Amino acid sequence: MECEKAMEELKRLEQVQNVILLHSDSSSSSNNNNNNTDSSRFLANFTLFMMQPCGELDIQQKCKLISEHFTKISSSLLEDSLQQLCDKDDVCIKDSLSRHFDDDSRVGLSPIDCEDLAMVSLDSMQRANSTLEDFCRSYFMFHEMDANSAECIFKYLPLLSFTESYIYQLDTINEKLLQFPSGGVSDFDSRPDQVVNRSWVPRCVKSFKTDAFRPLAVVLERYDIFTDRIRDELKCGEEYWTLERKLCRALTSKQEIQVEDVMKAIHLKSFDYRVLNLLLYQLNGRKINETHMEFLSVSEFLVEVSDDLLVHSLS
């Protein structure tokens, strides 16, 4: 019996290897990722799975089913499925999940990278609260979510709150950088004598000299919800802060301000709302509704103009 099992396992491994070679031969581009071996094995097992008989379904029907339901599959759905299918004492499943979500090496982190971990302060979380409340009231309806439902609010609140708090934290750093004469990160290099006693300066400058959103991106990548679209919106945030420093510098030095810069800054300012909105699409496993995105973009612009006019009238 043991011999038969061993032979069956060897046969299965041979099939997997043959499919891997088939995929390698048909691939037009090479993949140099560290997970290339795991990816190849996964694709091979999936191919063999598709070849297994299932009632009267043929290959074409199976492919159609996969295509129709693929967008509904998300990491959160798989987690829920695993928890429902396995017993509490199933150590194997728990270990697998633990390795996937708790192993820092999988997201490129190590003990020496601790200073690059995405962390937020309580002050940033408190400042982010009003934006999160407004986001829930104004955007949940576009995702068929009830802003008055505690279940809907708390379902994704930790991730949304963490993201918005991290953005507010960087915004605070940007405000600190405005204290420099030229309002830019280059001041730290050119005038170290004036900032030597400010302990926060090195961290601030480092954040904006490198990829300011990289620590946040690592967290989102870990949950498989970081997309190119979100990356682009975060870049809009960095561009907005650069423009803000430029405009403030022009005001303090009584230089001419370009209307184009002001208009662009207003358009970019609500990037955090767009990031949260895109995250909700990912978390819900839904395709982005471009009509909604265009409508909200116009709405965000009008709200920013309205807020600026209100502040101006009160000053």
The span from the first CA to the last CA of the chain, in angstroms, equals 86
- 1: in domain: no
State residue 128's pLDDT score.
95
- 179: in domain: yes
Contact 222, 100 (CB under 8 A): no
Q: Is the pLDDT of residue 134 over 90?
A: yes
Q: What is the mean pLDDT of the chain?
A: 76
> What are the angstrom distances between the C-alpha of 315 and each of 32, 133, 247, 312?
58, 26, 19, 5
276 band by pLDDT with thresholds 50, 70 and 90: very high
State residue 23's pLDDT score.
60
State residue 84's pLDDT score.
65
- 187: in domain: yes
* Number of structural domains the chain divides into: 1
Q: Which residue has the higher pLDDT, 100 or 220?
A: 220
* pTM of the predicted structure, to 2 decimals: 0.59
Q: Which domain does 150 fall in, by range? A: 124-314
Q: Is the pLDDT of residue 183 over 60?
A: no
Which runs of E-coded beta strand occur in 46-142? none
- 215: in domain: yes
Phi, psi dihedral angles at 73 (to 5 degrees): -90, 125
Q: Which residue has the higher pLDDT, 7 or 101?
A: 7
- 11: in domain: no
Least confident of 63-67, 150-154, 160-164: 63-67
310 band by pLDDT with thresholds 50, 70 and 90: low
- Return the percentage of the chain with pLDDT > 90, whole number: 37
38 band by pLDDT with thresholds 50, 70 and 90: confident
Q: Is the pLDDT of residue 103 over 80?
A: no
Closest CA relative to residue 249, chosen from 311, 195, 181, 306: 181
109 band by pLDDT with thresholds 50, 70 and 90: very low
- 138: in domain: yes
- 10: in domain: no
- 134: in domain: yes
Q: Is the pLDDT of residue 213 over 80?
A: yes
